Structure 1
């Protein structure tokens, strides 16, 4: 894997500190459990789906903080089974997703071993684009100019 030197960009940029920190501190994704999908379902809507076979909703914790979404799973109760072969991984996990600004968790559902988290990007009214009306100059200035020329 290549590493990039970000110091030249630090000198010529202002306000992009978080972006450069994110790029330079990307975690190694060698831990690929649990499997997940991220899909865009609308212009400002997203959906994260995690495959959590063997887990129940009581064993899963979802935490939304300022710019991260954390999904954690405790090890399920295996009972008194003596496995000859165990292909379904039931290990505890912790998966962290970085969220963009103004992205919030709308809801989460668990069905047939699939955890679905719906995200919505809601910009505050002050951040949305708005149209500015253009006013015309008043006629008072034109009358003053006509009197001066007379």
Structure 2
């Protein structure tokens, strides 16, 4: 059975990237680990904070691919220890955020079990272009 989409009209050619973006957003909204906050830190800046207790900097990865921010965590399994009780999960995660046009990742810092990713949107340059007017002879 084929899936019907909002972009299935013959008048909406070339909008498949929007459909893929909507699919990613829908998938991302069902994820719940790790929990995160997004705080506006300035007029053109944001901070995403993820609770990543137990992950060191070597187990975390922050990537920007196109306009998508991906944060991944991968812990290695410890085989030399014998656990009597294991209540702290060592699971992997991948959290994705769609970035608005022009948003840049300025920094990422890990401290006290929290990963802080700072985002900035630079002020757009005001460009004035003078166009010469020619006369028809």
Fold in common (TM above 0.5): yes
- The structure whose RCO (Cα within 8 Å, separation 6+) is larger is 2
Are residues 18 and 122 of structure 1, via their aligned partners in 2, closer, same or farther at CA, if it must alter by over 3 Å? Answer: farther
| RMSD of aligned alpha carbons | 3.2
- Once the two structures are TM-superposed, the CA of residue 37 in structure 1 deviates from its matched residue by 1.0
Distance across 2 between alignment mates of 1:72 and 1:24: 19
The superposition leaves residues 16-66 of structure 1 with CA deviations (integer Å, 9 ceiling, x where unpaired) of: 986676446632333311111111111111001111111110111111122
Aligned to 1:103: 103
TM-score, normalised via structure 1 length = 0.66
Distance across 1 between alignment mates of 2:23 and 2:56: 36
Distance across 2 between alignment mates of 1:107 and 1:24: 28
Q: Which has more helix, going by share of residues? A: 1
Distance across 2 between alignment mates of 1:112 and 1:25: 30
Structure 2 unaligned residues grouped into runs of 5+: 129-137
- Count of residue pairs the alignment pairs up: 125
Larger radius of gyration: 1
Contact 1:44 1:122 in 2 (8 A): yes
Q: Secondary structure at 1:27's aligned position in 2?
A: helix
Distance across 2 between alignment mates of 1:20 and 1:31: 19
TM-score, normalised via structure 2 length = 0.71
Contact 1:47 1:118 in 2 (8 A): yes
Contact 1:53 1:88 in 2 (8 A): no
1:1-150 correspondence runs (5 A): 6=6, 22-23=21-22, 26-28=25-27, 29-126=29-126
Contact 1:60 1:74 in 2 (8 A): yes
